[in-house]
Chains A and B, each alone.
Chain A
C-alpha cells in the first residue's frame, strides 16, 4: 500500500524534475540549483496531478484504469520532452549577466549552522504537532479534507459535494483536496497520513525555494539568512501542519515571484520562465480565491511596472505568455465551477450586501481596519516582520540593476494583493476584530515567504553594507 502511495507521490515530482532539468536549467547543476528544481517540482507535480485527477473525476470517477493513466501519461510526457530536448543546445550553460555576491558575509558559517538547526527544529516541531493533531486545524478537516473525502468516497457521485451546506464552501478550488484524494486512491482508502504529508511538503518546498533561490541569485549567505527567517516565522511553520491551503498558496505565490526574478540570471530561457511563472500563478488560483486575486495583481503589475522604456507591445506579449502558462490551473478552476453549478443550479451563492456601500464611506471603519490590520501584521511571527524591516534599513537597499525591474513589478504585485485584502476587510459584513484575529495573520502569512525573498533580493551587497555600517 505504501508502495502505491510512493508511486502516486513520486511519479509527478520526478517527471516535473526531469522536465525542468531538460527545458530550463543547465544540465551541469549545483546543489542549490538541484534544490531549487526539486522545490519547484513539488508544486508543479501536485498541481498537474490535481488537474489530471479532476479530469478523471469528470470522466466518471477513479478506477484502476485511471490510476495507470495517472502514472503512465506524465512519465511518457517526460520521456518525450527528453527526446525533444536532446539535440537542442539553448538553456544550457548560459552567461550570467547578473553576478552573484561573493560568499564572504559576516557570520557566514554561523548562519549556515543556524539555518540547518532551525530547519531541523521546524521539522521536529511539525512532526510533534502532526502526532498530536493528525487531522489538522478546523478549516482543514471541515473544508479541505472533507471535500477530499467526497472525491474519494463519493465515486461517480462525487459532485454530491455541491449539495453541501454553504458553510463548507463546496465551490472552493480543488487543488489540495484533489491531490489528497488521488493519493488516497493509490492507497485504496482514506488515511490521516496524507494531508499532513502534503502540508509538510509544501512548507519544506517553500523554504527550499527561498533558500535555494537566494543562493542561486545572490549567495549562500543570503540563502541561509532567508531560510532562517522563514523557518523562524512561527505562523508559517504552523500553517503547514494545520493542513489548510495557506501553505500551498504561499508556495505558488513565492514560485511565481522567483520565476520572474530568475529571468535576468537565465535570459536565454526567459520565455519559458515567464510561462512557468504563469503555471505557478494558475495553480495558485486553482488552490484558493486569494490565488486568483494574486494572478490578477501580477498581471496588472507586469503590465505597469516592467522594465522602463519597454514598449507596450512587448509587455503585452510577456503578459500573454504568462496567461498561457496559467491556463492549466484556470481551465481546471472553470471546469470545476461549471460542474458544481450544474450539479446545484438553485444554490444561493451570496446574499446581496446592501450595507457594503455605506461601509466604504465610513472613515471610522477605515481607521479601524488599518489599526487592526497593522497591529496583527506587526505582531506576525513573534515580531519577525519589524525585525526584518530594521535589518533591511540597517543593511540598506541596493540590488543589482539587472534585477530591479523584476523586483519592482513583484513588489507592486504584493502591494496590490495586500490592497485587495484591505478592501475585502472594508466591505466585509463581519465584526472586524474577530475577522482581523482569524484572517489577517493567515492572509499575511501567504505573502510572507515572497516578501522575505524580495527583501533579501533588494538588500545591498555585503561588502558595501558592512563598510556602511562601520
Chain B
C-alpha cells in the first residue's frame, strides 16, 4: 500500500510538473531572459575599455543609486525587506548590465568616463537624450545607450 501511494504521488508530481511548464508556470516566474540583452551589449564591447569601471544609469528611480553606492554594505536597505516589482526591475537592469559587460566593473552613478544607460524602453532612453555632463555616443536599441563624460 505504501509503495502504491508513493508511485501515485510520483506520477501526479510528474504530471503536475509537465502541466506547470506547459502553462509557463513556476520556472518562467523566476527566470529572466537575459540572452537578448546579452546579445545587445555584445555590440557595445568595441566602444569600451577592456577593464576598469564604467558608470550606470537607469530610469527606475533613485533607490538603486543609494543602495549600490561606493560604500557597499553586505545587506543594503533595499534588500532588507520584500523587494517590490519596481525595485526588482531596477536591480535586474543593473545585474544584466554587469553580467553582459564582465570583466568591466559596473558602478552606479555618472562620474565615470563611460556611462551605460539601461532604460525600460526605447522611449525612456530617448527622453534622456541629454544628461548633464554626458554626451550620447550611441543608442544600441531596447533602451540601451552608451554615454561619454565630457573631458574637463
Bound-state CA distance A348–B72 (Å) is 7
Which residue from A142, A145, A351 sits with its C-beta under 8 Å from B74? Answer: A351
Given A141-B99, A387-B6, residue A348 in contact with residue B73 (CB < 8 A): yes
* Residue in chain B with minimal CB distance to A465: B2
Whether B30 pairs with A138 at a CB distance below 8 angstroms is: yes
Which DSSP category, helix, strand, loop or mixed, fits chain A's interface? Answer: helix
Contacts of B86-117 to chain A: CB distance below 8 A: 91-92, 95, 98-99, 102-103, 105, 107
Across the interface, which residues of B come within 8 angstroms of A163, CB to CB? 105
* Interface flag for A238 (CB, 8 Å): yes
* Residue in chain A with minimal CB distance to B103: A154
Bound-state CA distance A349–B27 (Å) is 32
Given A150-B103, A469-B1, residue A168 in contact with residue B34 (CB < 8 A): no
Across the interface, which residues of B come within 8 angstroms of A157, CB to CB? 51, 103
Whether A133 pairs with B31 at a CB distance below 8 angstroms is: yes
Across the interface, which residues of B come within 8 angstroms of A241, CB to CB? 27
Interface size on A, as a range, is 35 or more
Which residue from A138, A225, A233 sits with its C-beta under 8 Å from B3? Answer: A225
* Interface flag for A461 (CB, 8 Å): no
Bound-state CA distance A228–B8 (Å) is 11
Given A121-B14, A229-B6, residue A150 in contact with residue B102 (CB < 8 A): yes
Across the interface, which residues of B come within 8 angstroms of A225, CB to CB? 3, 6
Determine how close the nearest CB of chain A comes to the CB of B109; give it in whole angstroms.
Answer: 12
Across the interface, which residues of B come within 8 angstroms of A199, CB to CB? none
Whether B73 pairs with A118 at a CB distance below 8 angstroms is: no
Q: Kindly list the 4 A-B residue pairs having the minimum CB-CB distance in the complex, ordered from nearest.
A: A394-B2, A232-B10, A387-B9, A154-B103
Interchain Cβ contacts under 8 Å between A and B, 11 examples:
A138-B30, A157-B103, A165-B68, A167-B79, A234-B17, A238-B27, A242-B30, A349-B74, A391-B6, A395-B2, A395-B3
Identify the B interface with A (CB < 8 A). Answer: 1-7, 9-14, 16-18, 20-21, 26-27, 30-35, 38, 51, 68, 71-76, 79-83, 91-92, 95, 98-99, 102-103, 105, 107
Question: With contacts A154-B102, A395-B2 known, what are 14 further pairs, Cβ within 8 A?
Answer: A107-B3, A135-B35, A158-B103, A168-B95, A228-B6, A232-B13, A234-B17, A238-B27, A241-B27, A393-B2, A394-B1, A430-B80, A433-B82, A434-B81
